Structure 1
Amino acid sequence: MPIVQAGSTVLVTGANGFVGMWVARTLLEDGYAVRGVVRSEEKGKHMTAHFASYGAKFDFVVVPDMIKEGAYDEVVKGVDAIVHAASPAHFPTAAGGDPDDYIVPAMQGTLEILQSAAKAGPELKRFVLTSSVSAVLTPPTKPWKQRTFDESDWGDECVRIVGNLGRKASGTEAYNASKTLAEQAATEFYNSHKNELSWDFVALCPALALGRPLQEPEAIANLNTSMLIWYRLVFSNQPDDFLQGSYSVVHIADVAKAHSLALIKENVGGQRMIISSGQITWQHTRDIINSIDPKYYASGKLPRGNPELDRTVTSIFKNEKSKELLGITYKEAEEIFADVLGLFDARGWLSY
Structure 2
Amino acid sequence: MSQNNGHTLTARGPDLTSISNRAPWEDARMKLKPSTPTRKPKPPKPENAITIGVSARVLFNMEKEQQIYEQQGLEDYIKYQVEHETQPFSPGPAFSFVKALEAVNTQLRELYPDSEELFDVVLMTNNHAYVGLRLINTINHHQLFIERFCMTGGNSPIGYLKAYHTNLYLSSDPDKVREALEEGIAAATMFTQEKITEVSDTQLRVAFDGDAVLFSDESERIYKAHGLDKFFEHEKAHENKPLDHGPLKGFLEALGKLQKKFYGKGQRMDCPIRTYLVTARSAASSGTRALKTLRSWGLEIDEALFLAGAPKGPMLEKIRPHIFFDDQMFHVEGAAEIGTVACHVPYGISQGMPKKGINDKETSSAPK
Give TM-score, length-normalised by structure 1.
Answer: 0.32
Structure holding more helix per residue: 1
- Rg larger for: 2
Give TM-score, length-normalised by structure 2.
Answer: 0.31
